[in-house]
Structure 1
């Protein structure tokens, strides 16, 4: 077996060994400080003042970059995947609540901006690229899925059709309500609010309030003139 083929396996062995050894140490016994120290050897980068609670799972840690002041709580799974072009980036001040699942899959870049909050049970999945801007609030049980199954052939099982991938962008200062679903190919404009339970299938303009299935804009947060003055 060539060195290039064996290296990912060696990285995974190191990753499993370190996370198994330290991953369940209670934070009350300085477990978070030990994790912060030793996890630096398996991640692409780990910033300062990072808090990782016990019971967090990491896969493909070499593709994961964690900024300063990031908080990651119990039950979270971060999967950087196996592809060498993958990247999962958590910017400074990101907070990830319990049982969040973020997966890169193949040839994927996921970027979560500064001071963004992910509520419990959020699921974010490639393989399409996903960008979430600064200071966003993503409420519990929201799903952000940058892929879609093809199903054009009624004879062949859908499982074997493959998928399409366009990517998703959620711009700065958005509030995504409880149990929202954001589908592939969507951009949610800066400052927008998406009501609880909505399914976002098309682009949402900046500073909109959108609700429903599928999500439709029902109003704007301010007049265009006021917004232009605020941003000038």
Structure 2
């Protein structure tokens, strides 16, 4: 009976790879070679949105990746952790070799709200998000609209990033603040 779980595990991998190939047939979704989707990943490009996954991108189980009207680019060899949500209505650019842990939320929009507005029908305020190369977003990090995170930065678990982060920074908190700077790895 130990053979059955191994067979189902292998079938799941094949089905995920097949699903990626089918989705990549759409003009709105492109993927470089060696990309992998785990089970139950939701990858969507609707209403003119586009998704581009660079070579070797890996998306873990139950992640929800959506480009509705917007553009979403994930650089080469980046990893998106399980249960993460990335939603673009404007533009989200994630660099190469990024590590996005589990339950991370990245959204380039907020609902409009205020007196006299029905929030569910008021539309959105959007601003692009840029995440540099070799960035690590810890578990349950939230990145809000209009933010740029410099390359080589590390964002601590549970942080909420509401402002731009300089390159090679260690950042923590709600709202996130720079704790310290890291040596520039590209200078070595």
Structure 1: segments with no counterpart, 5+ residues: 1-25, 45-60
Instruction: Choose which of 150, 168, 179 in structure 2 pairs with 1:189.
Output: 150
* Structure-1 residue corresponding to 2:168: 207
Structure scoring higher RCO (CA < 8 A, sep ≥ 6) equals 2
* Structure-2 residue corresponding to 1:220: 181
Q: Distance in 1 between matches of 2:111 and 2:61?
A: 28
Alignment partner of 1:28 is 2:10: yes
Instruction: Choose which of 121, 124, 141 in structure 1 pairs with 2:86.
Output: 124
Residues 102-127 of structure 1, C-alpha deviations (whole Å, 9 max, x = no match): 01112x11000011011111100010
Structure 2: segments with no counterpart, 5+ residues: 1-7
Please say which structure displays the higher CA radius of gyration.
Answer: 1
* Structure-1 residue corresponding to 2:5: none
Alignment length (residue pairs): 182
Contact between 2:17 and 2:36, CA under 8 Å: does it hold in 1?
A: no
* Structure-2 residue corresponding to 1:103: 66
Alignment partner of 1:94 is 2:57: yes
- What is the TM-score normalised by the length of structure 2? 0.88
Q: CA deviation at 1:35?
A: 5.6
- List 4+ stretches of structure 1 deviating above 6 A: none
Contact between 1:175 and 1:192, CA under 8 Å: does it hold in 2?
A: yes
* Structure-2 residue corresponding to 1:231: 187
SS in 2 for 1:80: strand
Higher percent of residues as helix: 1
Higher percent of residues as strand: 2
Q: CA deviation at 1:165?
A: 1.0
Q: Distance in 2 between matches of 1:221 and 1:31?
A: 38
Contact between 1:101 and 1:121, CA under 8 Å: does it hold in 2?
A: yes
Alignment partner of 1:73 is 2:69: no
Distance change (3 Å), C-alpha of 1:143 and 1:28: same
Root-mean-square deviation over aligned CA pairs: 2.4
Alignment partner of 1:43 is 2:5: no
SS in 1 for 2:27: helix
Distance change (3 Å), C-alpha of 1:41 and 1:134: closer
